[in-house]
Amino acid sequence: MNNQTSQHLLTGNIPAYIIPNTLRIFVGLMGLTSLSLADIYFIGKIGPNELMAVSFTAPVFLLGLTLLLSIGTAITTVIALAIGKQDTSKINKLSISSLALILLTGCLLMLFIKNFTHLIFKLLRVDIFLHEIIAPYLILIGIGFIPMALLVGILGIMRAYGETKIPLKIMVSVLISNLILDPILIFGCGNIIPPMQLVGAALATITAIFIGLIGSFFYLPKFLNINYSSIIFASFWYQWTSLLYLALPIAATRCLLPFSNGIITALLAGFGASIVAAYGIGYRVDISILMLTMALSSVIAPFVGQNFGAKNFNRIKAGIKTSLKYAVIYGSIMGVIVFYFRYTIATFFTEDTAILNAINNYLGIACWGYLFNGILMIATALLNALYQPLKAALVITVHLIGLYLPLSFLGNYLGSELFIYAAYPISNFLACGLALVLVHRTLS
């Protein structure tokens, strides 16, 4: 099965590979991010304080999720390159080493959140009355990063082969489990399960991830020949250097986005709690909408990686043109849709008038950045797949540190939350030029 899938990436019809596999990964990614969106929806039914509380945790959750997904991308890229070279021995050792690395990362995330909760509150300028509400939820989310890390790593190995059907099944199971468990654990179930509110939301997330992880174990032997007697002595540290060469720049630069999100949250806190709540919701909506573009970048990565390993350079260029065309079309359409239906989208999450109006304002501005954000995702994914992580890191650093944050601080100085919102589409547009130039020069 793996050989047939890999051969399709090397010789098959490009749109026939990109479109269905993008849709499958999109559903899977939506299942992963629904862990946060479902929490927001049900917690919003409890009250505005709880909604504000969970909005303050958004930067922390997104930071951890982005870090794990970044390492997952590196896993897919490195293994795809080895598959293209048909180096079967290296593929297995890389896979085991990759799982060890990402599992260690999940454990470190959990320890950081557990031991530095009060520092996180201070950095995000969380109101004191919300501390007791947020702390148990945040600690449990930190624990959930451990099974999530292993799950992301296993799915990364599968995607390196171009396999998307199995990851789809796994992530759908996570989505369904979370949607079922959220209302039961948050609001309770008769006299059997008491209402646990935010703690219940976190427990639902962890349980859903474990269900997906157990399912992934059944399929893992198809992609990885685990020799338990040799893991510690031979494979545990194997190829960490080549993996980290990609993983560290990807992780460091992608973590700039939730880091920037945390700074923006802190800036907006000066405009009121309702503005922070609206931004937390609006940002999650942005992420959900851009999931299809993120899925497209995930599909093109193993395609480019395998063909790069096989030295099929003309096929790489054809795949890049196709993926960029799809990103432009999708980003343009979604920007228009969100602009015209932004208030309707806001009413799905809350009935609070102040928060509704703030979400409406945010989405009406941010939606014009979807097109350019999509191009940036594709461009950086291409650079990483071509084994140019430092160029990809340059694009993201210029985008966020050189453009997005300075524009946001300018908006804060001018006393306008609307200008802070506008920093998102403006910085996306300006960074696109640099990204496309670097991709063109890399392919020349």
Greatest C-alpha distance within the chain: 67
Number of domains observed in the structure of the chain:
1
pLDDT of residue 238: 55
306 closest CA partner among 79, 154, 41, 54: 79
Q: 189 has which bridge partners? A: 193
Question: What is the distance between the alpha carbons of residues 350 and 433, in angstroms, rounded to a whole number?
Answer: 38
364 closest CA partner among 350, 343, 349, 348: 343
Question: What is the distance between the alpha carbons of residues 77 and 80, in angstroms, rounded to a whole number?
Answer: 5
User: Would you say 381 and 300 are in contact if contact means Cβ atoms under 8 Å apart?
Assistant: yes
What phi and psi values does residue 150 have, to the nearest 5 degrees?
A: -65, -40
Q: Which amino acid is at 222?
A: K
**What is each CA distance from 359 to 26, 47, 275, 352, in whole angstroms?**
24, 17, 8, 11
Tens digit of pLDDT at every position of the chain (444 positions): 455 555 567 777 888 888 888 888 787 676 666 666 667 778 778 777 777 777 777 778 878 887 888 888 888 888 888 887 777 777 777 888 888 889 999 999 999 988 888 788 787 777 776 777 788 888 888 999 999 999 999 998 988 888 888 888 888 888 888 889 888 988 888 778 887 888 888 898 899 899 999 999 988 888 877 665 545 544 555 567 777 788 788 877 777 877 788 888 888 888 888 888 888 888 878 888 888 888 888 888 888 888 887 778 888 888 888 888 999 999 999 999 999 998 888 888 877 888 888 888 999 998 898 999 989 989 988 888 888 889 999 999 999 999 999 999 998 888 888 999 999 899 999 998 899 899 888 877
Question: What is the distance between the alpha carbons of residues 127 and 19, in angstroms, rounded to a whole number?
Answer: 46
User: Would you say 92 and 225 are in contact if contact means Cβ atoms under 8 Å apart?
Assistant: yes
Domain that holds residue 84: 2-443
| Token representation of residue 167 | 């990851």
pLDDT of residue 31: 62
User: Would you say 242 and 75 are in contact if contact means Cβ atoms under 8 Å apart?
Assistant: no
Give the residue ranges of DSSP H helices in 161-239: 165-187, 197-219
285 closest CA partner among 339, 213, 354: 339
Which residue bears the tokens 């030295």?
Answer: 311
Q: How many residues does the chain have?
A: 444
